[in-house]
Amino acid sequence: MTELPVVAQERAKIILSNVQDILAEADIASELIPANVAFPIPALIAELSLDHQSNSRTLGFTLIPTEEDFPADFVLLQLYSEIQVSLDSEQYKDLATFLDRCNILQPIGHFGRKEDKVYFRHVLMIPKDEGARSDLILQTTMLFEYALDVYQEYIVEVAEGKLPLVDAIAVLSESSGSS
């Protein structure tokens, strides 16, 4: 990953600082991480509630670098969280099917798997002239955490081979009222 231009890094710091202030007003702890050699994009890491196994969870906010032809009056703010799971490679196909089913029911974002990681991700398009609006950031953060609360336990159980796919889909169908 290449280093962001100085102007883009400064813009990212300003927007992420604004998001940090919004989260602080809602008593959500967060830390601004400057760009470094390992991760050349500034990031804001917020603490979420504990998961179903009492593990800590975090939500990362980063600005996605855009191409020159992208509308110059917007920035892309990515929200990203990894789910702590011990992936069983024999479960990859079932996990992919289950994540697809979860994504169909999602109001925002999507679950995915990359190599040995399972994640939840959402991207907001923020007008540069408005900046990060408090209501948008807080509502999106709440929906993001809600999605993790609802699906994470089942995702972990399917990924680890503890819950058969058919049973996991049945749980989703029952909770959503669909078949």
d(CA 162, CA 151): 15
Parent domain of 22:
6-176
Q: Give 145 or 176, the one with higher predicted confidence.
A: 145
Q: Is residue 107 part of a domain?
A: yes
Residue 5: pLDDT band by 50, 70, 90 thresholds? low
DSSP-derived letter for residue 7 is H
d(CA 86, CA 56): 16
Q: 79-121, pLDDT tens digit by residue?
A: 999 998 988 889 999 999 999 999 999 889 999 999 889 999 9
Q: Is residue 1 part of a domain?
A: no
Q: 37-87, pLDDT tens digit by residue?
A: 888 889 999 999 888 878 899 999 999 877 665 667 888 899 999 998 988
Q: Is residue 51 part of a domain?
A: yes
Q: Is residue 166 part of a domain?
A: yes
Q: Is residue 46 part of a domain?
A: yes
CA trace torsion 79, 139, 110, 83 (10° rounding): 60
Half-sphere exposure of 131 (CA within 13 A, CB side): 13
Q: For the chain, how many structural domains are there in total?
A: 1
Our measurement of the distance from residue 37's CA atom to the centroid of its chain's CA atoms, rounded to an integer in Å, reads 23
Q: What is the CATH classification number for the domain harbouring 62?
A: 3.30.1460.70
13: exposed, middle or buried (Cβ count in 10 Å: 0-12, 13-18, 19+): middle
Single pTM value for the model: 0.88
Q: 142-168, pLDDT tens digit by residue?
A: 999 999 999 999 999 999 999 999 999
Q: Is residue 98 part of a domain?
A: yes
State phi, psi for 74 to the nearest 5 degrees. -130, 155
Averaged pLDDT score across all residues of the chain: 88
Q: Is residue 54 part of a domain?
A: yes
Token pair in block for residue 147: 């999605």
